[in-house]
Structure 1
Amino acid sequence: MAVIMINDQALWDKFVDESPYGLLFHKWDFLHIIEKHTGYQLLPYGIYKGDLLIAVFPLFYKKIMGLKTLFSPPPMSSVPYLGFVMYQEYDSLKQDRKEEYLNIVAEDVNSELENISPNYIFISLDKSNFDTRPFIWRGYNQDTHFTYVVDLNRELDDIWNSFNSLLRKNIRKGRKLGLEILPDSDASNVYSMMKERYREKGMNVAIVSAQYLQDLLECFPNELKCYSVYAKGAEKAVQTNIIYDYKRCIMWIGGMSTGDLIGVNDYFVWEMIQRAKAAGYKDLEYLGANVKNLCKNRCFYNPSLELSFSLCKKDIYGKLGEWTYRNLIKKRWL
């Protein structure tokens, strides 16, 4: 068994593409764009069993006010999930072999990180990575997170009829506005609209910059799709969104409509549900289930509530740094 730093983009991306656990967030260029804009150093670990690469594990390192921190993903990246990716054949293994391989990943990575001696480690895992026991056994604490998922393995009429009646009414209102959904190549529209809406609430947007989003859109034009929504006869967009379109569909960034037009966001989500179903996706993930004031509307879509987990390990200095961040800095960030 060995942990090495992978410097081969082709090897890395092939592994991510082939694994059912690989996300666009794990792709080589995505990780390096995060590194460029957040100032965290990318550590692209590969975990081998003999000659077999069984997992990749991107981590980001930064020393902050003397504290050594490791994140996957780092703050301000707006990436909901990262962490390790198991290899393509992992799901076909028997349970004893699965647990053996997971233990190898946890043990070898944990041993490698001891050379860094971090004060704080935070890892946010995708909902498909639910077995966190090998990390818990090695001193990591686990937190539970939630996400909404709309089941698309139904007829459109069944999906529509499962919606709350108020939601259906709002979608009809949106349809009467003559809304037009157009591709948008300018990420600054998303960023500026979100920034303005959050400013109204006395908050800051937890995305490092508009240029960060722009670089992602230009690097992944087929996997990240930006849309702006226009009311009939209007020159300025009333809403902007970035949709994640790689292996599955996620309502990722945006959804902040301007003005008092009722039904704009609901109409857009319904359109994305229809497009995702037509594209063959089995579900659509609607992020935001961890934010109380977002849940009331999102649950009108009658989604299922699914779990994901994060892992955290910290020493006394890491605990102090976390308290400072949560209580003095993060309160103004979404």
Structure 2
Amino acid sequence: MVLKLVNDREIWDLFVDASPHGLLFHKWDYITITAQHTGYRLLPYGVYKGEELVCLVPLYFKNVHGMKMLFSPPPMQAVVPYQGLVLEKGFDRLKLGKKEAAMDLVAADLSAEIEAIAPHYFSLILVPGCIDVLQFLWRGYAPKVHYTYTIDLSRPIETIQGDFHYKLRNKIRRAEKAGMDLVRSTDVSLLYTSLVERFSQPEMKIPMVSKRYFEDLFRAYPEHLATYYLYDREGALTGAVATQEYHRFLLWMGTPRLEGVQAENEYLQWLLVQRAQSEGYRTFENIGANTPELNSFKSRFCSDLEIYMEVSQKDRVGALAEWAYSSIINKPWLKRRVVPYIE
């Protein structure tokens, strides 16, 4: 196999569209907008078997004062939770031996390129469903397991609701009686304002990503990105979330519970579960299983817990930088000075 840069947007997006592991996070405009706003150099690699493209790997490179970093995705406080490998259309239908042989060739070519770049810190976070990282482990990369909540939408809607916690079902029934209006929009302003208020609170260590980043993404993908606003009978906003609707219905970002609101966040999510199923999606994903303060809320909805894998490698310089970033400069006012793409 051969690893080389793919600079053709059409070839890239057609491959992502066909791949069982392709998500909106992988699309050409998405990765280029992400690189632009984070200040990383995008390295859109493709792995070829002869003339056949068999895997895509969007990598992001940055050299900060001599420390070289290589990521997929770049660290963006879970705004892009995973990217990593995009495997070819028929990969999941291969027998295990052929899968492992293909992964070995992908890992070999990618590892050779990583060694040539020689980053002090490398991290590759793969999508749910792409969990075979054995070939990377055998090459000395360290594994880490992450989690995400999902709902299987192939079941009857009554069965899905029956899996909810009984207190959650009661809250949804009360909200239904209250009468509310769900509005789909491509305007991220209200959602972003609510998120900024949440992240500005003293206990939150991480500032927000730039609003311009989200606006650029929404302009690029008006059919696949949306904000949903829930209003009560008096027209007051009671809930807001952003979704990605491409290959799976992904609950991407949400506001904290608004002051004075009782069950509207629960009702908003329930409406979206119903919407996703009616539009033919097979999976509803609710990002946030790795955030302890959100688990008790999200687990009341979701019937499944999926894993996704990260493989990483860092030398002493990279390990020291990671410790310094998380322990010393993990203050909003200071982080704004060293991470240019946050507000």
On whether the aligned pair clears a TM of 0.5, the verdict is yes
Answer yes or no: is the 8 Å Cα contact 2:205–2:330 preserved in 1.
no
Mapped partners of 2:201, 2:317: distance in 1: 35
Mapped partners of 1:295, 1:258: distance in 2: 18
CA deviations 1:113-159 (Å, max 9, x no partner) are: 22211000011111111100111111110101111111222222222
Report what 2:65 is aligned to.
65
Report what 2:297 is aligned to.
297
Identify which range, 223-232 or 242-251, moves more after superposition.
Answer: 223-232
In the TM superposition, residue 204 of structure 1 has moved relative to its aligned partner by 5.2
After TM superposition, where is structure 1 displaced by more than 6 Å over at least 4 residues in a row? Answer: none
Mapped partners of 2:2, 2:155: distance in 1: 45
Report what 1:138 is aligned to.
139
Tell me, yes or no, if structure 1 residue 101 matches structure 2 residue 79. Answer: no
Report what 2:75 is aligned to.
75
In the TM superposition, residue 207 of structure 1 has moved relative to its aligned partner by 4.3
Mapped partners of 1:331, 1:136: distance in 2: 33
Structure 2 unmatched runs, 5+: 336-343
Mapped partners of 1:41, 1:208: distance in 2: 18
In the TM superposition, residue 94 of structure 1 has moved relative to its aligned partner by 2.5
SS across alignment from 1:32 = helix
How many matched pairs?
A: 332
Mapped partners of 1:327, 1:265: distance in 2: 33
Give the AA of the match of 2:138: W
Report what 2:10 is aligned to.
10
Report what 1:312 is aligned to.
312
In the TM superposition, residue 331 of structure 1 has moved relative to its aligned partner by 6.9
Report what 1:160 is aligned to.
161
Answer yes or no: is the 8 Å Cα contact 2:163–2:303 preserved in 1.
no
Report what 1:147 is aligned to.
148
Answer yes or no: is the 8 Å Cα contact 2:186–2:225 preserved in 1.
no
Mapped partners of 1:162, 1:319: distance in 2: 42
Report what 2:281 is aligned to.
281
In the TM superposition, residue 245 of structure 1 has moved relative to its aligned partner by 0.5
Give the AA of the match of 2:238: V
Structure 1 unmatched runs, 5+: none
Identify which range, 226-235 or 113-122, moves more after superposition.
Answer: 226-235
In the TM superposition, residue 179 of structure 1 has moved relative to its aligned partner by 2.1
SS across alignment from 2:20 = coil
Identity %: 38
Answer yes or no: is the 8 Å Cα contact 1:42–1:60 preserved in 2.
yes
TM-score w.r.t. structure 2 length? Answer: 0.92
Identify which range, 62-71 or 8-17, moves more after superposition.
Answer: 62-71
Give the AA of the match of 2:234: G
TM-score w.r.t. structure 1 length? Answer: 0.94
Alpha carbons of 1:329 and 1:264: their partners in 2 closer, same or farther (altered >3 Å)?
farther
In the TM superposition, residue 171 of structure 1 has moved relative to its aligned partner by 1.4
CA deviations 1:21-67 (Å, max 9, x no partner) are: 11111100000110111111100001111111111100000112321
